[in-house]
Each structure stands twice: as C-alpha cells, then as structure tokens.
Structure 1
C-alpha cells in the first residue's frame, strides 16, 4: 500500500465535515483515545485494571508513577510515558487476569465515553479498524464484542510463562510512525482504508495512508453517545470501582481506603450483633441510609396460616437483610450459594437450596407452611445495570402469597457485588462507601387472579412480577440468565457450542 501525500494540519477537515452516508462498502481506520473516545487520557483505564488485578497497592503504585509518565509523555516521548503506565499496571500480573478484567470491567467505562461524531462515521462503514497506543489486550474485547470492529491494532505486551513482564513486545508502543507501519502491514494485500480519523499530529502518519482524512478537534463539552444508540447494550460488568478514576479520584480512593476499611468493619460488627427489630435504626446511625416506599403486609405468624414470599430484585447479598430490617422481623432468606462468612455474620435465618427443583420446592414449601416470611431473589445473581435478569418461576408454583419488592442501591466509590472476585468481601466493600443508600419499594401483593390458582402458568406469574418490578425501577426486563452472565463476563458472549444463548434484551411477555 503506497503512502499518500501529506496535507497541512490546518487544511484537514474536522470529523463534523465527514459525510457518513453511503459508506457501507468502505473501510475506516480510526485512533482510539481522543478520537473514538472523548477522553484523551489513558490513566483512568489503566487505573481500573490496576485496582482490579492488584488492589489498592497496585493502584497506589500506578498513581505514584503517574507524574513521571506525564513528564515523559510531554517532554520526552509519548511512548516513554505509556511504558511507565504499562509497567506499573501489568508487571507480575497473570495475562489471564488482565484479559478477564478487559472483558468484564472496561467495556462499561469505554461505552460511556464514545465520541458521538466519530461513532456516527465509524458505525456507517462496512469494515472498521481501530489503532491505539493502549495495549491491545485491554481494548480488543470492547471494540470487537460491542462495537463490531473488525481489526484492532494496538500495543503488544510481553509475557513469560503467562505472566506479564511489564515491558512491550517487539514493535514497542504503537504511536506515530509505528501506527502507520502497522496499518500498512495489515492492508498490504488490500486497498487502503477510505477514511482515516485521528486527533493529533501523532496520527497524521497513518491518516496519510487513507484516501480521506479527518481530525477530531479537542473540545471541553462533548456529550458521549447514549447507551441506547449502541449496537449492543453493556448489561454485565465487574470490578469494584464505581467511577472511572482520574488521578484525583484515584488519590481520594487511596486516602479513603483505610478509613473505609475501619468504617466497614464497624458497620458489619454492629449490624451482625444487632437484633433485627433495631437494625433499621442502628445501621442508619452509621451513615447507611434506607429509603422505603410502599407498605409491607403484617407478620404472617400473627395473621396468616402460611408465610409471605417477598420476591425481590437482586443488587447485593444483603438484600434479604435490609428487607427484613424494614419489616422489623426475622425472615428466612433462601439462596443457592453464599459465603460461609456472610452466612455467619447474617442476623437472619439462611437456607441453602440444592439446585434440584423437587427438593428446593419442598424446602420452600415447608418454610412457608411454618409461617416464616420468605425473601427470595429469583434473578439468581446480581446485575449492576438498569436491567432485570430472567426470573425463576419456582416461587409461583408454591404460594399465592406473593409481594414483589423493588430494590436498588446507590454507592459512590465501591460496588458491593462481584462475579469474579472474592464474594465474601461484598458486604465489606458495600459498607466501605461513605454514605451508601438502600432503596426498597414494596409493591401490592398479587391479587388472586394474578397467581397460579387462577390458572396462570408459573412462567406467566414470574414474568408479571419481573415486569412490575422493572416498571417501578425503570429497568428493562431481559431473557438473560445467570449462566449467560458468567459466559459473557468470561468473554464468550453467551455462546454455547457456537450457538447463541438466551442473550436478547427484549421485554418478556
């Protein structure tokens, strides 16, 4: 592929002047940071990976080296600055852990930073190529799985026996002329890309290989692409950090962390040793707010022969505890799996299910017939996004005393749930937030004509409860299951044996 003549930067049109119509059969080559993404800084994404794979100490190391990386980037070379960030984030980390974090943590944050004009043009083209100075291992899962990018050219990291060394593989950091060389090699047997998009002079080298060139100007106020406009919603993501950490936010997290640990342990010890009738008041004195809407039914032991099944959306492992606290009485929580520590610390009764439907049905039926109110999260797993997973219909077969409960939480620093991490830490991370909030909304008990006794199938009842909760929370109901979640977080995109799983995000009927 021949190098085309260069143009003066002042004569290169902006991305706003690029017509996106009739591009279906054309190829585009675009830079990532500052071009496809609004944020020009790489630090926040390295920080997300660093905290996920190495915890607070790795984040501290990255923050301490950030000034050196900034100095080298601006006064020596962009390549030198990136080398420092890569070494601080990856040295000594298993490559499999980096890949896992790239699949589960980064897509959510990348998707919230897409430049609307670049995405307008990129999405209109038939073949898409993205070039980036970031390690390819970090960006490829998002670009290919969520944006449909065909080719990702990024910096390659070196490893030894499956462990990242912190250094670059042959070819070094993909910046400047290195991007042009990589693009030239990738398209040496085909026509040059019709469109080249970048944001700085460092991108001109690869842009000059393209037929049309456009620059993305640096602007302070650019609203990212709305999530509904993406070809695929990011429903599942992992990682403990709520916000994308800029250097300042990273510093605040590091300073708060030891304080948060002490606060969290105190909250857990106080809560686990408090009678459930007082938990609602005591936990709020520690700064954890509980917002309640709706009116729950009275105690089943005083007014009914059988207990009530409170069917909840699932946000953290503590959902049953907070529901019980609002009710002001002990309930029974059922779950498929919960850590021994969580079970030990819980002030309410826990009952483990077996995953055998007939046995589980008997366990639940016995609990209800004893007069115990039951708290159940039929999604089977947590979801952080505004979506509800497919509800298990088991509860609908066993009782007509069903009260839907919509649960949502608000945290500012740390997520109180994880799929890939140590789940016994979930309660501690939730309580490490300065002022966490639990929102609990009790809906009206299902009327007799909405239950299986009226001839409804258990699936119809489950779908109806799911939709009622989704409407209150303004969440979208999906057909995703617990298994789909873990397949997607593992990077298999819900594919089983090469065949699509239940991954449509359509509302259940």
Structure 2
C-alpha cells in the first residue's frame, strides 16, 4: 500500500484522519505525541514495533463501527489523491488483484475493493472486544516481512503463484520472490498522482472535517489552531447573528470572512395580491448558504430546510422553516411563505463537496414563476463546514474556524416567463434547466444522485446505486 500503490511511504496521515474523525482533537494529540516513539522503533528496531504504536494510539477504545464508517466515508478521498500512476497502470491492467499491507485491513479494504477493484485485501487484523478495538493486533501480527509471505502462501496455496509482485522496500522481498515477476517501485514523491477521471468509480461523496491530509506538521498546526479558531468562530457567528443584516457584510470582511458577490441581485419583492415573492434557487454547499445569500442581498431572506439542529436554528440570523417531507403540506407552506415575501430553497436537499450537483427536487417549480437561480461556492483551507456522520450543529463553527473562509454568491438571470410552469413547461424541465444553468456557471457536472443515494453510499449500502448512471455525462466522468 504505502510507497507502492500510494506515492507516500508514511501511513501516519491516514491514522491521523481516523484519530481525529473518531476520537477528536485529544486523540489526534495522543497520536502525534506517540509518533516520535513510533518513528524510532520503526527505523531502528523493527517496522512491526513502530506500526504497533501507531495502531494502539489510534484505535484503543474506538468502536469498530466508527472505524469502518471513517474508512468508508473519509479515507477514500485522501487515498485516491495519492495513487502512484505507474503502479496503478500495472495494477489496473491485471485481471485479479490482491493487496498485501501492514496497515489494518479495516482501514483500507473499503477503498481498495469499492474504488480500485481489488479482489482480495490481506492486511493487519486488529484485536476487538465487545465491539471496540483494544489497540492490539491479532495473529499473526503486523503484516511485514515473512508475515506477508506467509499470508500470500495461505491465500494462493503452494501450487498457484501470482504473475506479478510489486513492492518498494527490502521487507517486501519475502513475498515478492513468490511471484513469477517482481518489480520494485522507486521512491519518487514528486510524481504526479493519478487523476480522478482515471479511477473506475468516481468519488462523488465523502465526509470528514479536515481539508488537507494531516501530515505530522499539519496535525500539529491543526491542534494549535483549534482553540484560537473556535474563539474566532464564536466571534464571527455572533457578528452574523446580532448585527443588522446590512452591516453583516462589512463585519464579515473585518473578521476575515470574504464574501464575493457576482451578478445583479433582484430588488426586494413588493407585496401584491397577484404577485408572489422571489424564490431563490441555490446550489447547496453548507448550511450557511441562505445566510450568505442574505448577506449578499443586505436583507434577511427566510429559508426552508429538511433538517436543522436546534443550535443552528438558535444562532441563525434568518427565519428557518422545516419541511416535513409531505409534498402537499410542504407545497402549501412554501406558497404561504412566498405570499409574505422572498424565500430561499436548496433543491438538492443535501450538500456535496465535489464539483457535482445532485438531482434537483422539482417541487419548487410548481409553486411560482418568480425564480432566480443562485450559484453558491465556497473556499475552506483547514476544515469542511459539512458533515454526514457528525453533529450538524457544529457545521457553522467548523466553517468559521477556517483562518480566512470565503463564499462566492453569483446571482443569475431571473428565469424567463416562457421557461416556467406557467408557460406550460413541466416542473422537471424547469428544475433540470436551472440545475444545468447553475452547473455551467460553477463548471460542475450534473448528477442523477439524490439525497437518499448519498446517505446509502456513505452507509455502505449502495449496491443498488452503483449500477445506474452516476453522472449524466457518465463517459466523461468515469473515464470510459
């Protein structure tokens, strides 16, 4: 795995991701403090001893289900960004593929099988008790040296020999000599990683708070920044919640939050018996989309949402209305709100961090012809402001904990009357048109994935989803 299939030779960043995502900042600190000991043992005593320290510091006491969740939802994004191009060229050309790794199998198996098409994964087995990891490993121990060779012989038998063996260090030789051909992958950390379009399956959704791979330096920087960042986030949230909306834009800039506005925002809706308010149709990047829309407009715009934590609802400077997933009741509620003024809705129903738009719900198109598409994009340097597994109430705090977060709000032209349902267009045609318009503005791809598909995939229950086209332009996205 490390140094052969991946460009990087160190597995510390991936242990750090599990430590932070499952155990939080204190577990990450514990791992970081243990890493010098792990390094000394690894380089001067044995690989096995060093890896045992990393496994204990990372996994001791964790729920096995939490480790599996992170391995499925978080790690693939980071693993896929570090694939070695030459190794992948050989690996992907083989009919059947087996990966032997000293890494815990529970960490790597989901990525290798689901995204790289590995048929077999032989890795270190962690010891568990009562559904939790003990921090120790099961027999035969860490899969290095002769243990790798033994695992290979056990899997393939003495009769069948693998055609090709790839490794990158001396301790790989015992298993490599069992193969008909063997090749060493030279250490070239500057080689360009495999691009995502060459993977057999696109990584559309992922989870986790950290933006960058936590190398030891980045892990230390993250630990030192979090106390400062949390205080800064509280100050930014207080400014957005307590100040009058016309002043929030300037307060954000003063506190390091950049808000870029493009296009021409429509004027406030005029109350009229025959005219409803403007319905802003936004792409969905974080829970803060409606707030930054209101900031760009300089006036609070109510928002409808499927779910919102009590904390987010309490600190929100705009009115939020919960939808109850009953189409008739939701339509009546939205219509009533539009009679009172402007409204914002995110028809994707959930967030996606990749340059994709999820399938739009067509409900909004039937309710009004006053439709203004809004393309939302953001930039974060340390923490993602969205999560699928964690507490949603912390999403705004993590976004504002970034040193200099940025939001770009692009107002597109109001939908022409001849393209609305009032002119005879179907609600699906209207929704698809707006989705394509926003996607073109952001240079994103439109997908057929829905909110349900996302959470099925993150839960590892996407067997029925994989077979259908993941993206409208499937050939381009999947590299067929």
Q: TM-score range by the shorter chain?
A: over 0.9
Q: Which residue does 1:504 correspond to in 2?
A: 470
Contact 2:16–2:31 (Cα < 8 Å) also in 1 = yes
Q: Take 1:190 and 1:354, find their aligned partners in 2: how far apart are those partners?
A: 61
Range with greater deviation from structure 2 (178-187 or 446-455): 446-455
Q: Aligned residue for 1:325? A: 295
Name the counterpart of 1:397.
366
Alpha carbons 2:148, 2:175 under 8 Å: kept: yes
Q: Secondary structure at the match of 2:97?
A: strand
Give the aligned partner of residue 463 of structure 2.
495
Q: 2:433 aligns with which of 464, 470, 477?
A: 464
Question: Quick check: 1:137 aligned with 2:103?
Answer: no
Contact 1:276 1:348 in 2 (8 A): no
Q: Which residue of 2 aligns with 1:388?
A: 357
CA contact (8 A) 1:484 1:503 kept: no
Where 2:157 maps in the other structure, the secondary structure is: coil
Question: Which digits, 9 at most, give the CA deviation of each residue in 1:145-192, with x for residues without a partner?
Answer: 001100000000000001100000111000011111001100017621
Runs (4 or more) in structure 1 with deviation over 3 Å come to: 499-503
1:252 aligned to which of 221, 226, 242: 221
Q: Does 1:172 align with 2:141?
A: yes
User: Do the aligned residues in 1 keep the contact of 2:7 with 2:189 (CA within 8 Å)?
Assistant: no
Greater displacement, 401-410 / 447-456: 447-456
**Distance change >3 Å, CA 191–CA 134, structure 1 → 2:** same
Distance 1:272 1:329 in 2: 13
Q: Determine the structure 1 residue equivalent to 2:55.
A: 86
For 2:89, what is the secondary structure of its paired residue?
A: helix
What is the Cα-based RMSD across aligned positions, in Å? 1.4
Point out where structure 1 has 5 or more consecutive residues left out of the alignment: 1-31
Give the distance between the partners of 1:190 and 1:239, measured in 2 at CA.
Answer: 44
Distance 2:206 2:52 in 1: 27
Residue 316 of structure 2 is matched in structure 1 by 346
Give the drift of 1:501: 6.8
1:74 and 2:38 correspond: no
Query: Does residue 1:106 correspond to 2:72, yes or no?
Result: no
Alpha-carbon distance between aligned partners in 2 of 1:301 and 1:183, rounded to the nearest angstrom:
73
Match of 2:265 among 296, 320, 327: 296
Partner of residue 196 from structure 2, selected from 202, 206, 227: 227
Shift of 1:245: 0.6
1:448 maps to which of 417, 421, 439: 417
Q: Structure 1 residue 500: deviation in Å?
A: 5.3
Distance 1:250 1:125 in 2: 37
Aligned counterparts of 2:35 and 2:334: Cα–Cα separation in 1 = 54
Instruction: Calculate the TM-score normalised by the size of structure 2.
Output: 0.96
Please state how far the C-alpha of 1:448 moved relative to its aligned partner: 1.3
Q: How many residues align?
A: 473
Specify the alignment match of 1:362 in structure 2: 332
* Structure 1 residue 220: Cα displacement: 3.3
**Unaligned runs of at least 5 residues, structure 2:** 475-480
Secondary structure at 1:134's aligned position in 2? strand
2:115 aligned partner: 146
Per the TM alignment, residue 450 of structure 1 is displaced from its structure 2 partner at its CA by 1.6
Q: Distance in 1 between matches of 2:76 and 2:402?
A: 23
Q: SS where residue 35 of structure 2 aligns?
A: helix
Aligned mates of 2:45, 2:364 — CA distance in 1: 64
TM-score, normalization by structure 1: 0.91
Contact 1:480 1:502 in 2 (8 A): no
Contact 2:8/2:189, CA 8 A, preserved across alignment = no
State how far apart, in whole Å, the 1-side matches of 2:312 and 2:74 are: 25
Q: Aligned partners of 2:160 and 2:472: how far apart in 1?
A: 40
Q: SS where residue 280 of structure 1 aligns?
A: helix
Among 482, 486, 490, the alignment partner of 2:451 is 482
1:408 partner SS: strand
3-state SS of paired residue (2:270): helix
Q: Secondary structure at the match of 2:100?
A: strand
Distance change (3 Å), C-alpha of 1:391 and 1:190: farther
After TM superposition, give the deviation of residue 302 of structure 1 in Å.
6.5
Q: Distance in 2 between matches of 1:220 and 1:414?
A: 25
Displacement of 1:305 in angstroms is 2.8
Q: Which residue number in structure 1 is paired with residue 275 of structure 2?
A: 305
Q: Is the 8 A contact 1:49 1:101 kept in 2?
A: yes
Give the secondary-structure state (helix, strand or coil) at the position aligned to 1:41: coil
